[in-house]
Amino acid sequence: MKIDRRGLLGLFGAGTASCATVAGTGPVAAVDVRFDHGVASGDPAPDSVVLWTRVTPPEGFDGTLTVVVTIGSTPDFAAATIRTLTTGPDRDYTVKLVADGLEPGRDYSFQFGVGERVSPVGRTRTLPAGVTPEVTLAVVSCQLYPGGLFNAYDAIAGLERLDAVVHLGDYIYEYGAEDDAYGMATGRRLNRLPDPPHEIVSLADYRRRHAQYKTDPDLQAAHARAPFICVWDDHEVTNDSWVSGAENHQPETEGDYAVRKAAALRAYYEWMPIREAAPGTLAEAINRTFHFGDLASLMMVETRLTARTAPLSYGDLTMKHGPDGTPVPDVEAFMARRNDPARELLGDTQRAWLGRELAQSRQVGRPWQILGNQVVMARVQGPDVTTMLPPAQIERMMAGLTPDIRAQVEQVIGLFKLGVPFNLDAWDGFPAARERLYKTFAEAGVQPLVLAGDSHAFWVNELHDDAGDRRAVEFGTSAVSSPSPADALGNLPLGMALSAANEEVVFCDQASKGFVLMTLTPDRADVALMAVSTIFAKPYELRAVKRYRVDHTPAGAGALIEV
């Protein structure tokens, strides 16, 4: 017998009030609720997936609500399973259910309801088990709400085949709406202003910012299309964060960093379709593995809050007396600090876990091991453009920059002439830790596919250890909407300069916005760098900037081939 939606809710005690039902033992009261933030799913397994929504109660309401979740193997819910749970102000009226008892490699539809109010219908997919001929992943990162429209998510929502979206961090940003705040020149033009309008610090602030992001229709569409597999980077807390501090945290005005971090992580777990931290474990330890049948293992690592030591900056360059007595930068001392073996990103515990996961994946015969990693891993030295371009060409390019940008570019050009890395907040700021990771790859007998976000640029890199042996292939995704350095540089060809200056950099695009689309089969990995034509308007066009193929070999990733 087919039971319609109203019948299902009535049978399972969700009530038939015209609005929401209030949990409790007293009379049922009608509460007018909405589902302003869409629906989402995440952390898929072969037999389960996390389902998420947020119920928006009327202003001033602070009671608990009963929520019914319907899960069906078809969009019309002809054969459906019903779960009931409650939510309230203690978790900001977010709803999270680990829907279990599902079948592997299957699409499911889901919907939330309170009374007769229902959410949009979402679509999710469990991980496959056993023989798996193909997996398709969309890889995203860095979505600054004021930075532009989330057209990349609209494109992802329209993909015909998609098993999961891999999000590498910077899902939200912490900055306020001041005129000089990050991305606000675009934000004011597009009327995409941060809420709250100040930098977020408290739990209420982080909740409001997450809520604003999930009102974006394109992001909602992508969440309703496929499960997300997420890890945070720094901006989910605050810029350039590490274990005990952050560049964008000032204790004298913003309080205890540990309190701020705890608030940020609580809001993240409330508002994201991610499994809760296991009892007795650190909330920061969200490294975890996803097995796609017999085809691939995806290891998501955490590089910010569990082990990262404080980053270096170019301001750490001290001066020394040169041969003629005049002050010159002490590059040798700076590089010695950079190469300090104590500098860490993953930490011993997480690296040992990763080694076991990689080795086990290879031992059971999965051809692909994928590392969901936040920051660029390749060796990327800042390009000395004075040796690459004629002075007159450089001057013509510089002439088109605003005075403040020109001053910054001139400073950076001077730094790069010294041979310093392009980005000290990436793995290049932690070379000893990177070498330990490469040793872990070698001991596990794998050459994984490394995914990277954070940089707001597309990257295709071949990674080598200090001995020159290739250890992995890296694909970096550009931002959904966050600005790139190239956005302010006019005609300066930064991506081309980085490719020319670095042996490990096969390709770099510092201008395009979009996502990486990866399709895996037992014999090969096909990777496309997908760019949207604009983040400032609709409609837009979607194109592949570059396409690459990596064939599988007994050692893992084979030759990198542009197609």
CATH code of residue 47: 2.60.40.380
Q: What is the dihedral of CA 459, 463, 466, 469, to 10 degrees?
A: -150
Which residue is listed with tokens 């931002």? Answer: 479
Element (H, E) at 464: strand 458-464
Q: What is the dihedral of CA 326, 327, 328, 333, to 10 degrees?
A: 130
Beta carbons of 109 and 275 less than 8 angstroms apart: no
The verdict on residue 154 lying in a domain is no
The verdict on residue 119 lying in a domain is yes
Give the count of alpha carbons within 13 A of 408, CB side only.
Answer: 9
pLDDT, tens digit (0-9, with 9 covering 90-100), for 401-430: 778 778 878 888 888 889 899 999 999 999
Long-range Cβ contact pairs of 487-496 (< 8 A, separation 24 or more): 487/511, 488/401, 488/405, 489/397, 489/401, 489/405, 489/409, 490/397, 490/400, 490/401, 491/397, 491/400, 492/385, 492/397, 492/398, 492/409, 494/383, 495/457, 495/458
Please say which residue of 126, 161, 184 terminates a domain.
126
The verdict on residue 239 lying in a domain is no
What is residue 27's predicted lDDT score, i.e. its pLDDT? 37
pLDDT, tens digit (0-9, with 9 covering 90-100), for 184-230: 999 999 999 999 999 999 999 999 999 999 999 999 999 999 999 99
What is residue 489's predicted lDDT score, i.e. its pLDDT? 67
Angle formed by the axes of helices 431-444 and 348-363, to 10°?
A: 30
CATH number at 373 reads 3.60.21.70
What is residue 325's predicted lDDT score, i.e. its pLDDT? 85
Give the count of alpha carbons within 13 A of 67, CB side only.
Answer: 28
Residue 125, pLDDT > 70, answer yes
User: Cis omega (within 30 of 0) on the bond before 539?
Assistant: yes
pLDDT, tens digit (0-9, with 9 covering 90-100), for 57-110: 999 999 999 999 999 999 999 889 999 999 999 999 999 999 999 999 999 999
Which DSSP symbol is given to 66? E
Straight-line distance from the first to the last Cα atom of the chain, in angstroms, rounded to the nearest whole number: 52
The verdict on residue 302 lying in a domain is no
The verdict on residue 267 lying in a domain is no
- What does the pLDDT average to over 357-363? 98
Of residues 463, 461, 485, the one with CA closest to residue 546: 461
CB-neighbour burial class of residue 437 (10 A; exposed 0-12, middle 13-18, buried 19+): buried
Of residues 388, 449, 433, the one with CA closest to residue 413: 388
Give the number of other Cβ atoms within 10 Å of residue 552's Cβ. Answer: 16
Residue 270, pLDDT > 60, answer yes
Element (H, E) at 262: helix 257-271
Q: What is the dihedral of CA 39, 44, 48, 53, to 10 degrees?
A: -10
Amino acid identity, residue 142? Answer: C
Q: What is the dihedral of CA 508, 511, 514, 515, to 10 degrees?
A: 10
Instruction: Quote the mean pLDDT of the chain.
Output: 92
Q: Which residues contact 519 (CB under 8 A, 6 or more apart)?
A: 134, 135, 136, 137, 161, 525, 526, 527
Q: Are strands 513-520 and 505-509 parallel, antiparallel or unpaired?
A: unpaired
- DSSP string over 270-315: HHSS-PPPPTTS-TT---EEEEETTTEEEEE---SSSSPPPPP-GG
Residue 6, pLDDT > 60, answer no
| β-strand partners of 229 | 166
pLDDT level of residue 326 (50, 70, 90 thresholds) = confident
| Least confident residue range of 18-22, 315-319, 427-431 | 18-22
The verdict on residue 163 lying in a domain is no
Please say which residue of 83, 103, 126 terminates a domain.
126
The torsion angles phi and psi of 11, rounded to 5 degrees, stand at -60, -35
pTM for this entry: 0.93
- What does the pLDDT average to over 383-388? 84
- What does the pLDDT average to over 483-508? 86
What is residue 491's predicted lDDT score, i.e. its pLDDT? 65
Residue-number span of the structural domain to which 90 is assigned: 1-126
Q: Which two tokens stand for residue 523?
A: 């014999």
Please say which residue of 79, 100, 126 terminates a domain.
126
What is residue 20's predicted lDDT score, i.e. its pLDDT? 45
Instruction: Report the alpha-carbon angle 88-15-108, nearest 5.
Output: 75
Indicate the number of domains in the chain: 2
- Counting residues of the chain whose pLDDT is more than 70, the rounded percentage is 94
The verdict on residue 381 lying in a domain is yes
| Least confident residue range of 251-265, 375-389, 391-405 | 391-405
